[in-house]
C-alpha cells in the first residue's frame, strides 16, 4: 500500500519487478536508472546486492517523480525480486506494501515452465499477503523478443496471461518496451489511488 508523507506532501508507491531468474528484471531497472541519470531527472542511487547465483539478491531501489495528486507529489520506488526458488522468503518480504507489479517473462521457449512457475508464485504470494491480484495493477512484459528462440506472442499470452493483464513486448537490454511497461503500471496505480480502489 502507498505511504503518505504529510510533511513532505508526498505519496510513496512501490512497484516490484517479478519473474524467473535472469529474465531481465535487473536489466529493466538498470536501463531506467541510466536513462533518467542521462536526462538529469533523477538524483537517487541504484542499490543492488549481487550473489554468486543471481544478479540481485534483494532489490534495486529507485524513486521516480511522475506528478501530483491533490497537491501531493507521487514518488515510485522500484524493486526487483530474486528469481531463484531458494529466495522465496525474500520475494514474499519484498512484495509487502506493493502497489503494482511488472512480471518479466523470458520469451525463450525453454524458459516457459519457469515463467509459469514464477507467475503462479507471484499470484500465490500476493494472495497470501491479502492482495487481490486480479485488481492490483500488474503488467506482463515478454522480454528478450530479439532472440531466435523467442516464442510467438500469442503463444506466450495463452500460456501466461489468461487473466488478460496488459502486456508488452520488450528487449530490456536495448531499452525496447522498458519505459512503456513502467508508464502503464504507473498510470494504473495513480488511477487506483484517485479512485480509492487499491487492494
Min mean pLDDT across 66-75, 85-94, 116-125, 155-164 is at 85-94
Q: Write down the pLDDT at residue 152.
A: 98
For residues 54 and 21, the answer to whether their CB atoms sit within 8 Å is yes
| pLDDT (tens digit per residue) in 153-164 | 999 999 999 999
| The model's pTM | 0.88
Q: What average pLDDT does the structure give for the chain?
A: 86
Q: Which domains does the chain have, with CATH numbers?
A: 3-195 (3.40.50.300)
pLDDT at 60 over 70: no
Min mean pLDDT across 62-66, 131-135, 164-168 is at 62-66
Find where cell 500500500 sits: 1
Separation CA 183–CA 166 (nearest Å): 12
Separation CA 41–CA 134 (nearest Å): 33
Amino acid at each position: 500500500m502507498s505511504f503518505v508523507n504529510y510533511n513532505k506532501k508526498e505519496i510513496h508507491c512501490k512497484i516490484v519487478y517479478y519473474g524467473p531468474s535472469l529474465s531481465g528484471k535487473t536489466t529493466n531497472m538498470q536501463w531506467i536508472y541510466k536513462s533518467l541519470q542521462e536526462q538529469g531527472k533523477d538524483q537517487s542511487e541504484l542499490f543492488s546486492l549481487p550473489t554468486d547465483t543471481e544478479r540481485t539478491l534483494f532489490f534495486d531501489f529507485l524513486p521516480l517523480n511522475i506528478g501530483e495528486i491533490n497537491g501531493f507529489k507521487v514518488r515510485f520506488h522500484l524493486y526487483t525480486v530474486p528469481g531463484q526458488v531458494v529466495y522465496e522468503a525474500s520475494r514474499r518480504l519484498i512484495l509487502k506494501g506493493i502497489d503494482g507489479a511488472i512480471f518479466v517473462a523470458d520469451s525463450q521457449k525453454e524458459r516457459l515452465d519457469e515463467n509459469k512457475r514464477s507467475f503462479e508464485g507471484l499470484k500465490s504470494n500476493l494472495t497470501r499477503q491479502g492482495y487481490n491480484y486480479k485488481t492490483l495493477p500488474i503488467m506482463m512484459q515478454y522480454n528478450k523478443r530479439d532472440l531466435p528462440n523467442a516464442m510467438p506472442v500469442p503463444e506466450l499470452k495463452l500460456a501466461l496471461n489468461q487473466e488478460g493483464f496488459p502486456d508488452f513486448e520488450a528487449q530490456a537490454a536495448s531499452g525496447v518496451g522498458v519505459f512503456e511497461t513502467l508508464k502503464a503500471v504507473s498510470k494504473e496505480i495513480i488511477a487506483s489511488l484517485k479512485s480509492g480502489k487499491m487492494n
